[in-house]
Amino acid sequence: MINFFEKPKEKIFQLAQLPNETLLYRVLPRLLLEIIRKYLRVDVEGAEHIPKTGAALIIPNHSGFSGFDAVVLGHEIHRNTNRVPKVLTHALWFITKATAVPAQKMGFVEATTKNGKKFLDKDELVVLFPEGEHGNFKSSTERYTLQEFKRGFVRLALEKQATIVPVIVLGAEETHINLKKLKFTKFLRGIVLPMPLNIIPLPAKWKIKFLPPIQLPYKPSAANRSDLVHEIAQEIREKMQLSIHEELRKREYVYVKGVY
């Protein structure tokens, strides 16, 4: 990999020697992600809770309509563990080659139960947003209010005996502001879309906090117990919501220090 601490002329020469695909889909995205990281002033806490080996489900809150949280979180996991997580994301990422190829290079895969099982079987880290699009497409007036959790992540954890690592992300809500969640009830029934205020990300300060890992004390067969699955999902949601409230109370500012 390129050493970006070399002299400028040496770095430019090294970049010029790379194949176009490597430059376009590997080096430039990493450079861009480091720029984004500095722009958002990302703080990370609890990275020691991310398993260094073995299968695990990373469960974050979902916020900011653009999906920036998935990109930044994946990058931070890689920076802290040298593991490239598989991020289960919306099918819209894979509609065209222009978005699908870079998405795949960043570890994004379509959010399906089949994909979740496949990568857990390979002992991968899998990032799954239990709120789905209702989390990041919600109105900014509901910011930091967790939406109902889908329970598929609990079933996956039970079936594959995978560790669950809850994560909370602060800052994404103020980076991309959403005016309203649009629900279609006739021709596009079931489709949910955002009504964004800004496309260019605002420089809100981010904090990503990994909570202590959870190992569910049940056998794989417990995945068939709907009441238990629902109870576990609710408990994890409540734990994350409490942690979000705690971090918001400690938060000193959003955009500029000294101005909340």
pLDDT of residue 14: 58
Domain segments of the chain as ranges: 45-250
- Residue 173 above 80 pLDDT? yes
- Residue 113 above 60 pLDDT? yes
pTM value is: 0.85
Tell me what the mean pLDDT of segment 199-205 comes to.
93
Give the percent of the chain with pLDDT over 90.
57
Which of 7-21, 159-173, 174-188, 235-249 is predicted least confidently? 7-21
pLDDT of residue 89: 85
For residue range 21-59, list pLDDT tens digits in order: 454 446 667 788 889 999 999 999 999 999 999 999 999
Concatenated DSSP letters for the chain?
---TTS-HHHHHHHHHTS-HHHIIIIIHHHHHHHHHHHHHT-EEE-GGGS-SSS-EEEEE---STT-HHHHHHHHHHHHHHS---EEEE-GGGGSSHHHHHHHHHTTEEE--HHHHHHHHHTT-EEE--TTTHHHHTS-GGGTT-PPPPPSHHHHHHHHHT-EEEEEEEESHHHHS-EEEEEE--STTTT-EEEEES-SSPP-PPPEEEEPPPB---S-GGGGG-HHHHHHHHHHHHHHHHHHHHHHHHH---SSBTTB-
Provide the mean pLDDT of the chain.
85
Which of 110-114, 179-183, 214-218 is predicted least confidently? 179-183
Tell me what the mean pLDDT of segment 189-212 comes to.
86
pLDDT of residue 187: 60
